[in-house]
Amino acid sequence: MFKEELQRLADRLNLEIRVAHYPPYCSKYNPIEHRMFPHVTRACQGVVFQTVSIVRQLMERAHTAQGLKVTVDVIDQVYETGRKAAADFKQTMKLMFDDILPKWNYRAIPSSRA
C-alpha cells in the first residue's frame, strides 16, 4: 500500500520521489535518532503515560543547551485497515529500484514521465 500511495503522490505532484530506508537493525546510523531520542527519553523518564496529552507535553519539553527544540504533532486520524493494493499495481508501477540495496532504495517516477 505504501508504494502504491507513493506512486499516486508522485503522479499528483508530477515529481520524482526518492525513498531510502534504513534497513532493519541499522537505525544506529540515523543521525536524527542520535540527536533527539536521548533527550526525549530523558524528558519522559519515570512518567507513566496515561494520556496522549501528557506524552506530548513531556516530549515538547525536551531540549538541549545547543538549541534542540522538539515539535510534536499528534496525528489522530483513524487509518483504514484491510485495504488491498490494486491487483495490477506490481505490473503497472513506475518504481525504479536502485542497483545497491534495491529493497530499501527506490524512486517513484510520475506516470507522465514514464
As for how many domains the chain has, the answer is 1
> pTM for this structure?
0.58
Q: Is the pLDDT of residue 114 over 70?
A: no
More confident position, 34 or 101: 101
Rounded-to-integer distance, Cα 105 and Cα 112, Å:
22
pLDDT at 64: 85
> What is the per-residue pLDDT across 78-95, written as a single tens digit (0 to 9) for each?
888 888 888 888 888 888
Query: What is the average pLDDT across 15-37?
Result: 79
> What is the per-residue pLDDT across 47-65, written as a single tens digit (0 to 9) for each?
999 999 999 999 998 888 8
Query: What is the average pLDDT across 105-109?
Result: 93
- Pick from 75, 54, 71: which is nearest to 63 by CA? 71
66-70 contact pairs (CB < 8 A, 24+): 68/35, 68/36, 68/39, 70/36, 70/39, 70/40
| Residue 56 belongs to domain spanning | 2-113
pLDDT at 49: 93
With beta carbons less than 8 A apart as the criterion, state whether 11 and 110 touch.
yes
Query: What is the average pLDDT across 35-46?
Result: 86
Rounded-to-integer distance, Cα 103 and Cα 46, Å:
39
The C-alpha cell that represents 13 in the structure block: 505532484
